[in-house]
Amino acid sequence: MAAKKRKRKRIRIDADSLQATKILEHEEVVHTEMHEQAAHMEENVEPTIANEPMPEQEPKLGNQPILGNTPIIDEEKDMEMEMTEERLAQEEAVADHKEVTAGKEEVPEETQDISEEVVVDPTIELQKEIESLKQKLSEYETLTEELQQKLAEMHEKLLMSHADLENFRRRARKDKEDALKYASVPLIESLLPVLDNFERALDAADKSLDAEGLKQGVEMVYRQFLQVLSQAGLTLIEAEGKPFNPHEHNAVMQVESDQYEPGMVVEELQPGYRYKDRVIRPSMVKVSS
Which residue stretches of the chain are H helix? 2-51, 70-105, 109-118, 122-181, 185-207, 211-231
pTM over 0.75: no
Contact (CB, 8 A) for 254 and 287: yes
Q: What is the pLDDT of residue 102?
A: 55
Cα(first)–Cα(last) distance of the chain, in Å? 127
Q: What is the pLDDT of residue 53?
A: 45
Summarised one tens digit per residue, pLDDT across range 158-201 is 999 999 999 999 999 999 998 888 888 888 888 888 888 888 88
Mean pLDDT over all residues of the chain? 76
Q: Say how many C-beta atoms besides its own lie within 10 A of residue 36's C-beta.
A: 10
Most confident of 38-47, 82-91, 101-110, 212-221: 212-221
Q: What is the DSSP secondary structure assignment for residue 264, as one 8-state letter? A: B
281 — pLDDT class (breaks 50, 70, 90): very high
Contact (CB, 8 A) for 283 and 243: no
Q: How far is CA 4 from CA 8, 10, 127, 165, in A?
A: 6, 10, 17, 72
Angle in degrees, 0-180, between the axes of helices 2-51 and 70-105, rounded to the nearest 10 = 180
Domain ranges of the chain: 2-44+72-119, 121-181, 184-232, 235-289
CATH 2.30.22.10 fits 235-289, yes or no: yes
Name residue 159's amino acid: L
